[in-house]
A and B are shown apart, each in its own frame.
Chain A
Amino acid sequence: KAGVTQTPRYLIKTRGQQVTLSCSPISGHRSVSWYQQTPGQGLQFLFEYFSETQRNKGNFPGRFSGRQFSNSRSEMNVSTLELGDSALYLCASSLGSLGNEQFFGPGTRLTVL
């Protein structure tokens, strides 16, 4: 079974631009969660989507948004990029019922200049 895939793997943007990251979950998984990993903060939860609906949201500004499609694929968008948004963005999928382990993709490394 194919794992979680994320595209692109690397991105370089400048301040003020916007970016869209994509995540394809494991086949059959209906929940997709997004995390931001930075050296100082570790993994911080952004949001979770389940059946095209946002089920949980972390403490990030409104510049961070996401959506999920009917095939469970998910996108995350960051608008008006700031230098501090430079991070590894990780997507994780799970079956979706409560109390299931999450499986992570390789991440998208975003660098904001």
Chain B
Amino acid sequence: DQQVKQNSPSLSVQEGRISILNCDYTNSMFDYFLWYKKYPAEGPTFLISISSIKDKNEDGRFTVFLNKSAKHLSLHIVPSQPGDSAVYFCAASNSNTGNQFYFGTGTSLTVIP
């Protein structure tokens, strides 16, 4: 039972444009969300987080939006750079029970120079 879904396995974007990666979840108890970037043969690198008390969090070129009623979050990368090409994972947890995170299956982003 996949509680966190990333329905787009891949995404291609021109350098300088916006990349939007989407993530849906089913468990209404999830209240803390993370985005990770992963290169081959490396562990995931933490990018940005958001808790359910917010609907937006920004960090430089990265912004995460949370729509609790739709159980949907998205990661915006503006402007996209070739170095952003990687697999992006979203993860969700119920922070009241610890650090058990449920991960999506990832979206492979390619930024075309």
Interface, chain A (partner B; CB < 8 A): 4, 31, 33, 35, 42-45, 48, 50, 55-56, 58, 90, 92, 94, 96, 98-107
Given contacts A43-B89, A48-B98, A56-B98, contact A101 B46 (CB under 8 A): yes
CB of A98 within 8 A of CB of B100, answer no
Task: Mark contacts of B67-110 with chain A using CB atoms, 8 A cut-off: 1 yes-contact digit, 0 otherwise.
Answer: 00000000000000000000001010001111111111110000
Q: Provided the pairs A42-B105, A43-B103 are in contact, do residues A106 and B43 lie with their beta carbons within 8 angstroms?
A: yes
B46 adjacent to A102 (CB under 8 Å):
yes
Please provide the 4 A-B residue pairs with the shortest distance between their CB atoms, ordered closest to farther. Answer: A104-B43, A99-B95, A43-B103, A56-B100
Residue-wise interface mask of B (5-46) relative to A, using a CB-CB cutoff of 8 A (1 in contact, 0 not): 000000000000000000000000001101010000111111
The reply to whether B99 and A31 contact each other, CB–CB distance below 8 Å, is yes
- Determine if B99 and A56 form an interchain contact, defined as CB atoms under 8 angstroms apart: yes
What residue in chain B is nearest A4 (Cβ atoms)? Answer: B43
Q: Among the listed A55, A58, A101, which residue makes an inter-chain contact with B34, where contact means beta carbons less than 8 Å apart?
A: A101
- Kindly state whether residue B63 has any CB partner on chain A within 8 Å: no
- A residues near B46, Cβ cutoff 8 Å: 101-104
Q: Give chain A nearest CB distance to B49 CB in angstroms.
A: 5
A104 in contact with B45 given A42-B103, A48-B99, A99-B95 (CB within 8 Å): yes
In the complex, are the beta carbons of B34 and A107 less than 8 A apart? no
Residue of A nearest to B106 (CB): A42
Question: Could you say which of A44, A45, A50, A101 has the most chain B C-beta atoms within 10 Å of its C-beta?
Answer: A101
**Complex contacts, A99 vs chain B, CB 8 Å:** 31-32, 51, 95
Most chain-A CB neighbours within 10 Å: which of B36, B43, B99, B104?
B99
B99-A33 in contact (CB<8A): yes
> How far does the Cβ of A81 sit from chain B's closest Cβ, in whole Å?
22
Complex Cα–Cα for A99 and B36 (A): 16
